[in-house]
Structure formats: structure tokens, C-alpha cells
Structure 1
């Protein structure tokens, strides 16, 4: 079990290490500080995503200030960020919270290799991750997560590179859900065939451990083939297709060991123009769940934006997710089912008031099909202040 103070202290140690990395290189450098303050005013007619007869509406207010610090020179770039916000629901006050997000990292490069290290710590409501992880929008439990991601890339030739990456994470919930932790190793090779086309191959191993009324572990192995093609200045296509084998061990009075085989994919098509932009994504991936097991999630998303005038733009986002358990599919934490379908539609219109201030009026329709069917309608006004920052070169 993770202690309340151990995780912040640990992540603070890595952030201090990143700051020390800045001091050893005394060549000319650029320093930058920027601030982003986001406010959201809205009303949700089913804030907990319950059945129609149990729906509860509430106004909501979200304040998310963020401070970013960047230092860069010819070889080293270091960054830190911190955010401490407010979430308020006057008609559902048990959902009130103060979300926090801290992180940092550095990237060092020379002619032969690129070395990077990133760390993050966040403390937010678990319902913010319901679509990906739990399927439970009603819970007021908080979710604490921290992660560490080192990566080393060897530049073998001007057109060939070999990357070795590692990820370690821990996620702890205050109630209802399953604490989990995981380790992931990924080794990839990439070849640049031309300025517009590159391909690669990667192998990975991941280990996930879940703590609940019944403990379980999963070990997954897989291989992916990747490619990227930039057809023109505006069009780009990406693809990653592969397969995986997962071994699931459920520990109890009678242990259960299962094996699951599946495919992994991430296909993308992007268009970026002066007036119109669009992106389509389709794929399937593995995601650890707060329900106490590993999930296989198929997803589709489309996002488009159109610039009406110099200061006025409109956008729409559509997403659909199908989530199922890997292996036994038991409901280990005793909350909601692991299988669900989620749909979301989010049109908006935005106005650039000044280069630093943006306003957006948006609507979000959300639907979830699980043990029961639930839907909600949310109308939002978002005001974003983005201070362009203070830059200093020496």
C-alpha cells in the first residue's frame, strides 16, 4: 500500500534531479515561464451518469491554473509544470475537489543518442477517468497516480534508430476501486526510407498488479509494426498494427490462470490546413482498470475544426469506445461491470478575444451502455487565459 506522503516526496525528488541537470551545462540557454488559467462554467443534467429516473443535475465550476517552466540549450531541454485547481458542484457537493497535477523532465541529445526522463504526479477524482478506466461516473473517490518514464534512443545512422523505453506507474484510489501498479518495457527500431516515409518494429512486455478483494496480476507480450507517411504539406497517415499475448493470474482460495490473445492497432489520418483541420483515429489498446483487471479497449475518434473568421472558429469531436476485460473478466472490486460502450459528441464555437484570452461555448452529449443505459447533456462556457510567457536568453 502506498503512503500518503511517500509519492509526493518521491516525485519531488525526481523533479529536483531534473533541476540539477540544468546546472551542469553552462552554455548559452533560453529560459521561459508561461501561465495558463482555464475556467469552465456549466450545467450537467445527469452529472453522475445514472439511469433516467435517478438522474441528478448540477451546475459546475472548474478552475485549472497551470504554471510551466522550460529551459533549453543546444543539447539539453528541461521542463517543469504545476497545477492546483478547483472543482465545484453546488448540487452534488460530495464531488467537490481540488485536483492537482505536477511533473517535469529533461531531454539530452548529442550526435549519437537521445536520453530523456519524465515524471508526473496527479491527484484527481476517479470519475474524470471513467471512460478509460472504471466506467463509474457516480463515485466521489479520488485517484492518485504517479509515473516515471526514462527512454534512451541510439542514433545508429542518419536514417536508423534504436529506442529502449521503460515506464513504471502506481495508481491508488481512496475508495471503491482497485489499487494497481505496473511496469512496461518497449524496444523499437525505426528506419527512415525517405523524407516522407518511415517504418519500424517494436516489441514490448508489461506487468500489471491489482490489489482488491481478490488480487490479480497480468503479464502481456507483444509486437507492433509501425509506419508514417507524410503525403503532402497538409496530409499525414500513421499506423501501428500488432498482436499480444496476455497471461492473467487471479489469486484466491482457488487460483485461476488464463491466457488471452488479441490484436493491437492505432491508425491515424490527419489533415492540417489554413482554414480546416481534421483528424481520425481508430485502434485497440490495453488499459489497466480501477475495476481490478486489464482491459482491452477499441476506440474511434474524429475531430474537425473550421476557421470562420480571423477570430471565430467552430469545432466538433466525436468518440466511441468499446471496453472489455482481458481474461476472466471478473468484477474484482465489486463495483460496476467491466464491459461497456461509451459515446461522446462535443460541438463547440470559439472566439479569440485577444492573443491571450479565448472563450468557447460548447455542448457535450455523453452515453454509456453497461449494466444499464445512461446519458447526460452538458452545456459549458470555457474562458482560457494564456499568458504568452517571459523569455530570457543568455
Structure 2
């Protein structure tokens, strides 16, 4: 049982999770000093072996084991049907990221340690970014893609900082020092996202996450009411996203906020979706041809030489309605558990992951290559509930 695990193990496990969630930042820091190919994969493998060595007696949830195996079988089947080139990269990343996330999402944790450790990680990331990474980043050839990665890498930093500022009871150690560090992370991360990148989705993710962290102050009934209204407004805006963005962002190109300048430019060119509408049309055609079971992982990439840039359409293309249920069911359970939970620091983690990962996947990237998507996918409400019961345990003890 979680309650019998010693404090040192809890602390070590929680630090591993904080490092896993922030591995994009860690990879950037390492590459700013020494370029290492596939550094994120190497980091995940190290975290996996450390986690396994520390948690040899951990019993994994049967539901999670079955989900892990089914996804691996799906990838193996797709490898045969759609060819090696179409999905081998997804298979390799799932083996590394998925397996590490599977282990880390089932071991004993403490939410407060994860949040506090993340603040220190982001302080280091900010310092290295402004001293070393920024110059290479601004001079890079593939600036658009790099900007997107940079923007989304700072989203969790904003949300970790907001969490400690909203809930000082989650702070471990010197409260004033941690609040100052949180303010630095908050201001620095928002500055990067707004003024050094042009990624619209990162701004939406930050707003989404801040709203859900803020309503954690409400009781369960008022929280549920607020979420229903918020989701209703969000769905309306999403269904009318192009019109809303055109009206909202139709501002002079002289504006200093990168996302606004980009929206103004795209609006003037008449392509607010930045070419995504063509990918979505192709995805819908594929879904219509096989709505229940899809065409397998990699089929869309084989036809279009690029991924869909939309989470739900990607899943429907690959696995149809059956696959969509397989993927949405565990994530829906996590969302529900978070909404109805008592105030506990561990529930900040799924809020940060949902905001920083799922929002991104609605507009860009592909979930197979996202470590944090798999961590969120393999989390279970039961494990979160166990962790929440020990939210304050051990913290008065020294290492």
C-alpha cells in the first residue's frame, strides 16, 4: 500500500515524475551545451530504469496493463498493414515514452513534491534559455517549428507557478522564497510565450489551465456549474474558431504580441487555419471510408506525408470510433475525478497535463510522440485517490 512506502522513495518517485513532465525543457538545456541526438528518448530511458529499480515491488493496475498491451498490438498490426516507414517512429516512441509513462503513473507519488520540484526545474530552464538557448533559437533555420516547441514547453511552467501562488499550502520549505521563484517563473514563461513565439495554442492552453486552477477554490457544486458553463462557451468558440479569431486578432501587425501578429498576417492572407483545413478534409474522407475501426496507425501519414494536426481526427483515422472510445474513456475518467475531487495537490498534475498537452494536440503535434500524453493516459482515478490521502504525509520529516 502507498501509505507504507518510506518518504525517501516517495520523494525520489515524485522527482522522477517532475523530470519526466519537464523533459522537453531538460533536453533543451542539455542540447544548449552539448548536442545529443534523441536526447528526450535517452532521458526517458534513464527515468524508466531508475523508476523500475526503485519500485520493484509495485503492482500495476490490471486495466492499465491491458490498455498498454492493446495499444502495442494495434501498433504491431499497423506496422504490417501500413508499412514500416509510416509508423515505425510512432512504435519506437511509444515503446520508450509509453512504457516510462506506464511505470511512472503507477508508482507512489506526492503531488506537492512534484509541483515544488517543477518550480526549480523551470528556474534553471529560464536561466539557460535566456543565457544560451535564445540566441540559437532566434538564429535557427526552422524557426516556426522551434517556436511552437518553445512556447508549449513553457506552458507547464506558468501553471506550476500559478498553482503555488493560488495554493500556498502546497509549498514545501521556505514559503516566501518559493513564492518569489514562482513569480519569476510566471513572468518569465509568459514573456517567452507572448513576445518570443507566435504560437496561438500555447496562449489558449495557459488560459484554460489558469481557469481550472482558479476554480479549484470553489466547492464541488459551484465548481461543476462553472465548468459546465465554461465548457459550453469553449465548445461554441471552438466551433466558430476562425470567425472568432479573425475578429479578435484583426489588429495591426505592429502589435508586439507574437500570436496576434501571426493571426493578423494569416487573416490578411485569408488562411487563419494555416493550411490545417486541407488536412482535416483529408482526415474526414479517410474516416468516412472506415468509420468504426479506422485504417491503422500511419495510414494518414502514408497518404499525406504529414500527421493530421488534430487529436480526435488522428485517432478516428487510425482506430475509428472503437479506438476513440478506447482513448477517451481513461482520460474522461481522469477529468471527472479531477472535477469532483477534494482539494489535493496531486490533482493539479492532471490539470497541468490536460491544459498543456490536450489543448496542443487539438491544433498540432501528434500524440504518439508526446510523453506527457501517455502519462495522462495511464493515470487512474484510483491511484490519484490513494496519492491524495498522503498529500501531507511525510512532509514534516527530514530526508
TM-score, normalisation: structure 1: 0.24
Which structure carries more strand by proportion?
1
TM-score, normalisation: structure 2: 0.24
Rg (Cα) greater in structure: 1
Higher relative contact order (CA 8 A, sep 6+): 2
